[in-house]
Every structure is written in structure tokens, then in C-alpha cells.
Structure 1
Amino acid sequence: MTDGVQVIAERSGTAFRLPRGAILTVTDPKGEQVADLLAYNAADVREVISSGRTLDYAETISLTTGHALYSNRSQVMLTIIADSVGRHDFLLTPCSIDTFHHFYPDLKPHRGCFGNLAEALAPYGIEPDAIPVAFNCFMNVPVAADGKLRVLPPVSKAGDHIRFRAEMDLIIGLTACSAPDSNGGSFKPIHYEIETVADQAAVL
């Protein structure tokens, strides 16, 4: 059996191992909440999820069911196998204390997803400088005809989810995003659940 639904509290993050073949489901339980996701090769953390490689090979910035997320070594790390939202971002870097100074000078600074990921990944030997652009589940970043980027509230509703299959043994970093604009001005938890190969076999 799985360990059941795990809760990432608002404005926090976690890290965990995800074995090859396992299914990771990331759920927005209340709606309009972003979750930053990172993936590292568990056998060599220098191999890490790559926005550039993924977007290059997919030939689109609109990643959804059927698309693969590639590493900096052009290996498939995760495959999206289900997606009830269809709107995610793989352009913008995790928010950080510098993000708050830049975009929210009138708000109390927060260490953001970058700081939360750095703390969660440290026990795995992953240093802050090894944190790349994350796959931002549910984040809504439309691109205008002139190239202008906007950050709008997610279109995800309560219970919406995205499911990934691990294509290698991974270390995953995952957050409940801390930036006001990314989450429609409020902060909510993120849920996730892991289904291993053994779990899948037990159902058959």
C-alpha cells in the first residue's frame, strides 16, 4: 500500500526519494496553489531536471499528459501520465528572498520556494547552487505576442492534480509556493501521494 496522502503545509517544502516506475500524484486540494517540483538522479545528483532540454525536445511550453521531463543529460526523468489542469510553467525560477525584494518590496521578505527547497534537499547533498528552474505545477504564466510574461492566478480548482511516472530512481523536491502573485494572493497546502511498482502490482 502507499503511505497515503502527504501534506506540504503552505509556504513550505519537502524532499523525498521516488523509485523508478513509481507514480507521483501532486494535488491542489483547495485550488489556485502552485507547487514547484525538482528532480535529481538519485545515483548522481549532478544530473538534474532541465527546462531547456525539456522545452527543446517537446517543442512547446505547454507541457501536459504524454510529455516527458528531461535532465541536463538528455535523459527522461519523469513522464506526465495524467493532468486535469493542462496549465503549468517551466520558464520561471523558484521564488526566493530576492524575488520578494524585487517584486514585493512592501511585503515582509520570505525565503520562498528556493529557500524551502535548499533546506529540504540539503540532507541529500544538494547545494543551493544546484537548484535549477523548477517545473511549476499549476502555475499560470501566459506569454503575450510581444514576448511579455505575466503571472496570473492558477486555473486549477480544488482537487485538480498532475501525475508523473519516474523513469529513473529520483530525489524529488516539492513545495507549496510562497509567492503571492503565483497563488492568486493566498497561500494553501499541496498534497502528494506516491504509488510504487509494488503498490501497482498489488492492485492487479
Structure 2
Amino acid sequence: MTKPPHDADARRSVEPVICYPTDSLPQPDMDLYHAARESMQQIDQVIVPPREAQTFQVPAGHFFRITSIEGPQVGDLNLWSATDLNERFYSGKTRALHGTHLTTGDRMWSCFPHLRPMATITHDTLDWYGIDAFGSSVHDVIGTRCDPYTNNLLSDRQYHHCCHSNLTRAIAHHIGLPLTEAETHVHDVLNVFMCTGFTRDTGQYFMKASPVRSGDYLEFFAEIDLIGALSACPGGDCSAEHSSDTSPCYPLEITVFQSKGNVLNSWRPPVKNNYDKSHGSE
């Protein structure tokens, strides 16, 4: 290790600065969403089997809910614009704006050049968890998704029920593309119900048993027309490993709701980002 300079302590003690202050970030109208929730009725339901993934669609202005229905289970969520698969969830920018873990009032933002809200979290039954003594919390946007490539790199084996592969099969079936082409649309996820953090000594990404129990749910308001894909992670509650045929795994339920009143009559989907895309060219 390099010998510390004479001013090492002074350099370490410099106060941090938030990269993206969000004082001017457009805020969701949570009062409006809560009012719309009061009259919502279920219009669709999808069950995601253990170690598999399923797709679903949600029209703009509707709600969708991911529920643990039989036992503690983590899910990996991808979102796309229903009219353009190139507009998809951007976990990195969502993390930069809202932090490492999401909860009520936070939004899932789409990728460049669109950069607009895709969905807003309207209810989280695990919001009580907060940040624990290990520095971990739930619903993270720091893990990429378990995948067969990293699995092969570390274990030299072929495993096909990683969330990446599950999501690839699901979206391939939904849009009728070959697996190789569909795979290019799979992207970094919102790890629903997953409890994660970074170790303080080595800075490594860690997971621990999810606090989710049957009946817990994470609920969203669809800001635009959405296609979603959800994988029931092969790690179950991710208390031991996340690419496994031995971990106890359970199904997840996706329900779609429509608000039946006129509360949302004045609501409009967010427009795409207004940057002129000139990138400084003359």
C-alpha cells in the first residue's frame, strides 16, 4: 500500500457534496395519487412462478402492485415504454437522484435521451424497515441482476434460471423476438424486496434475508404506457445465494388496478426530456 501523504487526514475529512441536489426536481403529486387509489379496482393479475419471469402491461394512469403471496421472495423488475422498447428503466440515474434504495414517493426514470418518470412508488409496506445497523435497506437500485455470465465466471457452470435469463425468456416470448435479440433489451433492475448494502470495510455489495412476508407489496403508478417483466429470483429471500435450485422460492403476484373515479381527469403523462440534443455542436 502507498504510504499516506502528510495531509491524508485532512483530505479524508473534506465534507461530501450531493452530486444531484433534487430541490428543483419535479415532484409527484402524491395527494392526487392517494386520492386515485381510493377508488381503484383490479383489472388484471399475473402470477410469476418461482425461478421464472412473466411480463405484464400497464396503461398510463393505472396502478400496479407486486405482492409476496406465499413466502419471502425477491423479484427483479424491468420496465419499458410500451411504444418504444428503447425507452427503458435507468437504474443508475434513478440511484443518483433518489439514492440506493427506493420507497414511497420515489420514481423509476427512463434512459437517455428520454429521462422522464416511468413509474412512481405510491405505497410500500416495507417502508418501516429504513436503514439497519449494517447499512442495508430494501428495494435496491445498486445490484444489476443475477446473471448466467457472472455465474459461469465464478463457478464454471451453466445455470439458466438467473434473473437475467428469466427476463430474457419472458420478453422474448412477449414481443416475439429470438433470445439473442431480446436479450439486448434486458437491463439493470429494481430489486424488489431485496435487502442489500455495501460492506464498510471492503465496499462490497452484500445481501441479507429480506424482511418481506406474505401480503407485503410494493405499489406503483404508471406514468406512461408500460411493459414490465418481473423475475422471481432463484435466491428466494436472498439470505444465502441468488443463483440456486436449492433455496426456498415462492411465486410473486402482479396486479393491475384502474382508478374508477374522475380524480385523474386533469392528469397527463410526463413529456420526454427537453434537452435539445445539440451536444454543443455548431
Normalising to structure 1: TM-score of the pair?
Answer: 0.87
Per-residue CA distance 1:102-138 (angstroms, 9 max, x = gap)? 45x3987233211111111123257212211111100
Instruction: State yes or no: 1:101 paired with 2:152.
Output: yes
Aligned mates of 1:118, 1:183 — CA distance in 2 = 25
Bigger Rg, which one: 2
**Aligned to 1:80, what secondary structure does the other structure show?**
strand
Percent of residue pairs bearing the same amino acid type: 28
Instruction: State yes or no: 1:187 paired with 2:249.
Output: yes
Per-residue CA distance 1:170-197 (angstroms, 9 max, x = gap)? 1111111113672653211111100024
Contact 1:33 1:183 in 2 (8 A): no
How is 1:88-127 mapped onto 2 (pairs within 5 angstroms)?
Answer: 88-102=139-153, 105=155, 109-122=159-172, 123-124=174-175, 127=182
Contact 2:236 2:250 in 1 (8 A): no
Aligned mates of 2:74, 2:83 — CA distance in 1 = 28
Contact 1:100 1:110 in 2 (8 A): no
Aligned CA-pair RMSD:
2.4
Could you tell me how far 1:35 is from its partner in structure 2? 0.9
Q: Count matched residues.
A: 199
Instruction: State yes or no: 1:169 paired with 2:169.
Output: no
Per-residue CA distance 1:133-189 (angstroms, 9 max, x = gap)? 111100111222242221112111111100000000011111111136726532111
Residue 79 of structure 1 corresponds to: 120
Residue 27 of structure 1 corresponds to: 67
Higher mean Cα deviation, 176-185 or 155-164? 176-185
Higher mean Cα deviation, 85-94 or 12-21? 85-94
**Aligned to 2:238, what secondary structure does the other structure show?**
helix
Aligned mates of 1:139, 1:47 — CA distance in 2 = 25
Larger RCO, structures 1/2 (Cα 8 Å, 6+ apart) = 1
Unaligned runs of 5+ in 2: 1-40, 128-137, 241-246, 263-282
Per-residue CA distance 1:43-99 (angstroms, 9 max, x = gap)? 1110100011111122x1121000011001311000000001131111112222224
2:207 to 145, 151, 163: 151
Residue 46 of structure 1 corresponds to: 86
Residue 64 of structure 1 corresponds to: 103
Normalising to structure 2: TM-score of the pair?
Answer: 0.64
